[in-house]
């Protein structure tokens, strides 16, 4: 794929809104932004064009994405690509930030346009292809291997938890029965199994009936939620005071994880019955969005991927208090609306 193809095929979701939220932190001279989910480089290119002194470090676990974005952004000497999973964001900040801190972090979660569009990667239920779904095909087990090795109970859990699939039990049972006669190796085979085990009435609404199963397997194959849960607190700690984090999520499990970490930082850690809030217990984040923002109708019309986006953002007010580092914070009476 050429640089021009990448630019034409990748329309970043809510790019201007993301940049507006980041602007007060990253428009200053010498600022560093970590794009933790580089993909085809759409958000990064928009940031580099808007902020002429900004250095962007782009992280992606997909070697193809790193290569493609690096070609697309080759004219910018203020761009650096790093091939790794974004839960290593603290290491990246330590290398490229000032004193291990950066001014901005952007996360556009979920599967990238590149992965969905390349049929042979096996992410898309609309095209028959090998059942792979790995974001980095050089490591880990494929979806086909997961379907061959996981027990029925584990498959049911994956489909129910990660895909919020109501018919997880039926689908898991059918997968196990099928693999006793022949292995599942193609996306089309899996689509047929899902369709055959979802009632006709349920198939008539909500789009392709296989979408929840494919989402669940993709999340499991790539350990997406585990990576996200490790990355979020590290991303917050990588921010300098005054720095900002913007996160775009595409399903409820991602958004819930983001909401929890940002609300924790924006909540006083003082006991509810303490008459005076100690300085050390004041919130260290300020929420920049009221709840999760959604794309308007015009954005959704321009970019269908924006239909399910949930955007949250926060600003670092002060360093995280020592007593909270590495530990969860309980709710208090001073918790902001989230």
Q: Which two tokens stand for residue 202?
A: 């349920």
| Bind-site residues for S-adenosyl-L-methionine | 41-43, 60, 86, 108, 115
In degrees rounded to 5, what are phi and psi of residue 17?
-65, -40
Whether 142 and 186 have beta carbons less than 8 Å apart is answered as no
Tokens at 190, concatenated: 């899996």
Residue 222 CB burial class (10 angstroms; 0-12, 13-18, ≥19): buried
**168-179 helix and 152-163 helix, angle to the nearest 10 degrees:** 140
Question: What's the helix, strand, coil split of the chain in %, to 5?
Answer: 45, 15, 40
How far apart CA 254 and CA 109 sit, in angstroms, is 8
32 contacts 58 by C-beta, under 8 angstroms: no
- CA dist 66 and 55 (Å) reads 17
Sequence ranges of the binding site: 41-43, 60, 86, 108, 115
Whether 313 and 23 have beta carbons less than 8 Å apart is answered as no
Angle between helices 211-222 and 152-163 (to 10 degrees): 110
Nearest-angstrom CA–CA distance, 59 and 197: 39
């Amino acid at each position: 794929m050429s640089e021009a193809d990448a630019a034409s095929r990748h329309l970043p979701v809510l790019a201007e809104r993301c940049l507006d939220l980041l602007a007060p932190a990253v428009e200053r001279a010498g600022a560093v932004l970590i794009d933790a989910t580089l993909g085809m480089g759409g958000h990064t290119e928009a940031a580099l064009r808007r902020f002429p002194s900004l250095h962007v470090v782009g992280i992606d676990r997909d070697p193809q994405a790193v290569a493609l974005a690096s070609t697309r952004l080759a004219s910018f000497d203020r761009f650096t690509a790093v091939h790794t999973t974004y839960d290593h964001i603290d290491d990246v900040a330590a290398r490229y930030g000032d004193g291990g801190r950066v001014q901005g972090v952007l996360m556009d979660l979920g599967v990238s346009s590149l992965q969905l569009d390349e049929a042979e990667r096996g992410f898309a239920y609309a095209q028959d292809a090998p059942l792979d779904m790995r974001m980095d095909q050089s490591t880990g087990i494929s979806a086909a291997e997961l379907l061959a090795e996981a027990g029925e109970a584990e498959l049911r859990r994956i489909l129910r938890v990660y895909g919020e699939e109501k018919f997880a039990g039926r689908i898991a049972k059918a997968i196990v029965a099928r693999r006793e006669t022949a292995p599942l190796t193609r996306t089309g085979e899996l689509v047929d199994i899902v369709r055959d085990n979802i009632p006709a009435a349920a198939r008539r609404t909500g789009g392709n009936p296989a979408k929840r199963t494919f989402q669940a397997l993709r999340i499991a194959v790539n350990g997406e939620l585990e990576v996200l849960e490790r990355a979020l607190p590290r991303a917050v700690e990588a921010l300098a005071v005054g720095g900002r984090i913007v996160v775009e999520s595409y399903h409820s499990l991602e958004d819930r994880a983001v909401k929890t970490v940002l609300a924790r930082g924006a909540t006083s850690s003082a006991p509810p019955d303490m008459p005076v809030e100690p300085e050390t217990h004041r919130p260290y984040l300020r929420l920049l969005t009221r709840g999760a923002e959604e794309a308007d109708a015009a954005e959704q019309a321009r970019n269908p991927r924006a239909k399910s986006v949930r955007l949250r953002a926060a600003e670092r007010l002060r360093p995280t208090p020592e007593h909270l580092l590495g530990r969860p914070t309980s709710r208090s009476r001073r918790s902001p609306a989230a």
